[in-house]
Amino acid sequence: MQRSSYRARVVAGLGSLVLMMPVCSRAQTRSEPAGDMLRDYLQRIAMEQLAARRQRIASIRTGAQFEQRKAEVRRQLLSMMGGLPTTRGPLNLRRTGTLQRDGYRVEKVIYESLPNFFVTANLYVPETGKPPYPAILHPTGHSLTAKTRAFYQSISLGLVKNGFVVLTYDPTGQGERRIFYDRDLGDSKVGGTTVEHEMVGIQSLLGGESIARYMVWDGMRGIDLLESLPYVNGKRIGVAGCSGGGTLTAYIAALDARVAAAAPACYITDWEDQLLGTGPQDAEQQFPDQLKAGLNHADLVEAFAPKPYLIASTTEDFFPIGGSRKAFAESKRFYEMLGAADRISTFVAPGGHGVPPSQREAIEKWMSHWLKDAPARSPEPAFRTEQEEDLLCTVSGQLATSIGGDTPSTLNVRRLSRITPPRPRFHSARDVDELRTRMREQIVRLTRYERSKNPLNSRSLPSTERDGYRLTSLTYETGPGRIIPAVLAEPVPERSRRRTVLYLDERGKSAAMAKGGDVEQLTRLGYTVLAIDPSGTGEAASRWDGYSQTWFGQGKVTWLALMVGKTMTGLRIDDILRGVDLLEEKHLLEGGKCAAYARGNLGADLLHAAVLDERISAVGIEGGLLSYAAVARAPLHRRVFEAVIPGVLGRYDLPDLAAAIAPRALSITNARSAMGMPVFLREARAEYEYAGAAYGAMGKPEQFRVGLRREDEEIADAFPVLR
């Protein structure tokens, strides 16, 4: 992949920025060509990790080595999911109706994969041939109608016509199982299925889990259901699904030893190819640390070896066909090593994402051969799909309005909101010092922060004057290939300089530079201000297309950072502290220290940075996220993904970081909820009571403030820490 130099692009953009600075609108000050730096940086790491994995896979030469790898993959997969639920209660199967058709019937059923956690499903049962029949678990892909969609019906119908019992079900967030269904809207509050999955999945990350744990468990309990049926041969159960159903097919086959044959369609590829295309998908389809740990799609195939595996693909899929071929070639080598070369195959159909008839027939032939010891009916028997509403299991078409019950969201809120970090009482300043030491260790471990050691290589463009202060656009390096755009605002004449402020705004530095804005207010008061765009903001934002930037912001690069073993918070800590290094290099620190201010969710990143580096002597945060706990206890959230740290619940929260900053001045104003809405002052003060106690123990209660900033209040008045 050839791309022009990021530095050249951003510096060229900054040239335009200086010329436009007097007007200083967001559109004018942003350099559009500079937007892929973060993606490029993370992809380079990913490609190195994938190359290391290839070397490791190539070194496997014996069956014993391969079995060790398989066991490791299963452990990794389970760990990345956060484990599976441990409650295997009664299924409490309900039958809500039956459709009698020529040669088969369709039963409308509901089962509980967890207590009060209902799964809506259709059970296709052949009425020809002799039971017990082989069976297929058919998880569907992302679709609002899921199991009732004609496209997915056709897979189940082709299989039942070939003598299989088929259990197809609505994955959570789809069909009759919308997680955030609103009866007045007649739809989800948040929109499509991928958004529903991501909404719960991001929240799950805080607890070190994935929404996949619920989705895989639904499928495993579906196998329990099939095994319980007297007309099903429990030794001959396969799993097959397309798209998101292909993802679940691959996971369930890798983790459930009862599966005898597998056929994922339009999913199996290679992350090297996927990252150069559409990249990460929604929350169940990738995991933190997965590339760092060397886990690729082929590992899911190989974890099933030597049992029969068909990789079904299409030529124009957004899961790239080139990657599918790589996965097949790698996996075939291990099947051959095990003497099972005939048990792995691939079928490629022309066209885009989906299962065309030729691919559907290939799946039928594969399952018939391995689970029936007989050829499939060819050509595929004719069938007719049903009207969607005739296959619904609930009266209203939604569990939410017919039966109720839990969802992954309600389970998360109930469970995750009870997880709290240890908070010993403060009896003296020593207790605060011990907290600070512990917080620094936890921050480095959980955020994966690594301090860049390369030269700053700062570059400046000619300055421009604006109403009593001077603006200089510049860049500096953090890690190799990571260039941070910045603007230095200095009062004129220079003798009026009082103090230096490092300024962060989640909207980008151009918003902060607006006429009459915070930066102008500060410089006119005699402050020197360095406004920067940390990774994922302003000119350093990625232009990688996402499925819902409105809800999740820089979703794809945030996922990629997690996959390679980093966090956006860890990267931004480095960006911030390198900004302090820049001020030090330019001799702009007063007594070796500066104040720092952040708007929006960059406040969480600044809190982390300030705990680690005492050169930041005073901190002001406006409109920041109230806490991680606020996300854990709220069903919905908006644009918090970049601030999420996997597994942080139970380790520390933002109030713990605030406490660790004591006795340095800290002011928190206009705190916001998980949805980005203002919270009551009393709620914010209650959340940060622990931090207040730390300042009291240090004998500096006046240095800590939780308050509000009025719309017409100037920054220096709202933030006395900047005085």
Distances (CA, A) of 181 to 114, 144, 189, 627: 20, 12, 6, 26
Mean pLDDT of 77-92: 96
List the Cα angle 132/136/138 in 5-degree steps: 150
Do 456 and 370 lie in one domain? The reply is no
Do 97 and 225 lie in one domain? The reply is yes
Q: Are 539 and 10 in contact (CB under 8 A)?
A: yes
* Nearest of 277, 54, 264 to residue 138 by alpha carbon: 264
Distance CA 430, CA 417 (A): 30
| Chain mean position to CA 408 | 16
Q: Are 640 and 600 in contact (CB under 8 A)?
A: no
Asked whether residue 7 is domain-assigned, the answer is no
Residue range 576-606, pLDDT digits in tens: 999 999 999 999 999 999 999 999 999 999 9
Distances (CA, A) of 625 to 97, 214, 338: 48, 27, 53
Report the pLDDT value the prediction gives residue 304, as an integer from 0 to 100.
Answer: 98
DSSP string for residues in 273-325: HHHTTT---SGGG--TTTTTTT--HHHHHHTTTTS-EEEEEETT-SS-HHHHH
Residue range 213-235, pLDDT digits in tens: 999 999 999 999 999 999 999 99
Do 466 and 322 lie in one domain? The reply is no
Do 375 and 493 lie in one domain? The reply is no
- Residue ending a domain, among 375, 390, 416, is 416
Asked whether residue 426 is domain-assigned, the answer is yes
Do 214 and 340 lie in one domain? The reply is yes
Residue 499: CATH number of its domain: 3.40.50.1820
Mean pLDDT of 685-711: 96
Residue 468, phi then psi, degrees to nearest 5 = 95, 5
* pLDDT score of 448 more than 70: yes
Do 452 and 368 lie in one domain? The reply is no
**Lowest mean pLDDT, pick from 258-267, 365-374, 463-472, 711-720:** 711-720
* pLDDT score of 525 more than 90: no
Helix, strand or coil, per DSSP, at residue 722 = helix
Asked whether residue 514 is domain-assigned, the answer is yes
Residue range 311-345, pLDDT digits in tens: 999 999 999 999 999 999 999 999 999 999 999 99
Asked whether residue 34 is domain-assigned, the answer is no
Tokens (6 digits) for 161? 């016509």
| Chain mean position to CA 140 | 21
Please give the model's pTM, rounded to 2 decimal places: 0.93
Sign of the dihedral through C-alpha 500, 503, 509, 514: negative
Residue range 264-283, pLDDT digits in tens: 999 999 999 999 999 999 99
Identify whether 115 is preceded by a cis peptide bond (ω within 30 of 0). Answer: no
pLDDT class of 547 with cuts at 50, 70, 90: low
Q: Are 597 and 502 in contact (CB under 8 A)?
A: yes
Mean pLDDT of all residues belonging to the chain: 92
pLDDT class of 36 with cuts at 50, 70, 90: confident
Tokens (6 digits) for 659? 């406490």
- Residue ending a domain, among 401, 416, 431, is 416
Report the pLDDT value the prediction gives residue 723, as an integer from 0 to 100.
Answer: 62
Domain containing residue 84: 67-416
Q: Are 150 and 385 in contact (CB under 8 A)?
A: yes
Q: 637: which residues sit within 8 A by CB, 6+ positions away?
A: 199, 202, 203, 631, 674, 675
Number of domains in the chain: 2
Tokens (6 digits) for 526? 């005699």
| Chain mean position to CA 669 | 28
Report the pLDDT value the prediction gives residue 13, as an integer from 0 to 100.
Answer: 42
Residue 94, phi then psi, degrees to nearest 5 = -115, 135
CB neighbourhood size of 310 (10 A): 26
Residue 471 host element (H or E): strand 469-477
- Residue ending a domain, among 416, 433, 449, is 416
Distance CA 653, CA 294 (A): 30
Buried b (16+ CB within 10 A) or exposed e, 452-482: beeebebebbebeebeebbbbbbbbbbbebb
Tokens (6 digits) for 578? 């390198």
Do 99 and 122 lie in one domain? The reply is yes
pLDDT class of 546 with cuts at 50, 70, 90: low
Distance CA 584, CA 582 (A): 5
Report the pLDDT value the prediction gives residue 368, as an integer from 0 to 100.
Answer: 97
Residue range 241-253, pLDDT digits in tens: 999 999 999 999 9
Do 334 and 357 lie in one domain? The reply is yes
Identify whether 306 is preceded by a cis peptide bond (ω within 30 of 0). Answer: yes
Asked whether residue 536 is domain-assigned, the answer is yes
pLDDT class of 84 with cuts at 50, 70, 90: very high
Report the pLDDT value the prediction gives residue 300, as an integer from 0 to 100.
Answer: 98
Tokens (6 digits) for 465? 């004057």
Which residue is listed with tokens 């903001």? 537
Q: What is the CA radius of gyration of the chain?
A: 28
Q: Is 712 exposed, middle or buried (0-12, 13-18, 19+ CB in 10 A)?
A: exposed
Tokens (6 digits) for 348? 């490629």
* pLDDT score of 641 more than 90: yes
Asked whether residue 639 is domain-assigned, the answer is yes
* pLDDT score of 458 more than 50: yes
Residue range 413-443, pLDDT digits in tens: 999 999 999 999 999 999 999 999 999 999 9
* pLDDT score of 490 more than 60: yes
* pLDDT score of 15 more than 70: no
Do 379 and 399 lie in one domain? The reply is yes
Do 152 and 92 lie in one domain? The reply is yes
Report the pLDDT value the prediction gives residue 497, as an integer from 0 to 100.
Answer: 62
Q: Are 122 and 226 in contact (CB under 8 A)?
A: no
Do 424 and 458 lie in one domain? The reply is yes
* Nearest of 576, 638, 566, 633 to residue 601 by alpha carbon: 638
Asked whether residue 180 is domain-assigned, the answer is yes
Asked whether residue 36 is domain-assigned, the answer is no
Distance CA 312, CA 296 (A): 17
* pLDDT score of 34 more than 80: no
Distance CA 326, CA 348 (A): 13
Distance CA 498, CA 591 (A): 12
CB neighbourhood size of 499 (10 A): 21
DSSP string for residues in 545-606: --S-HHHHSSHHHHHHHHHTT--HHHHHHHHHHHHHHHHHHTT--BTTBEEEEEETTHHHHH
Do 378 and 431 lie in one domain? The reply is no
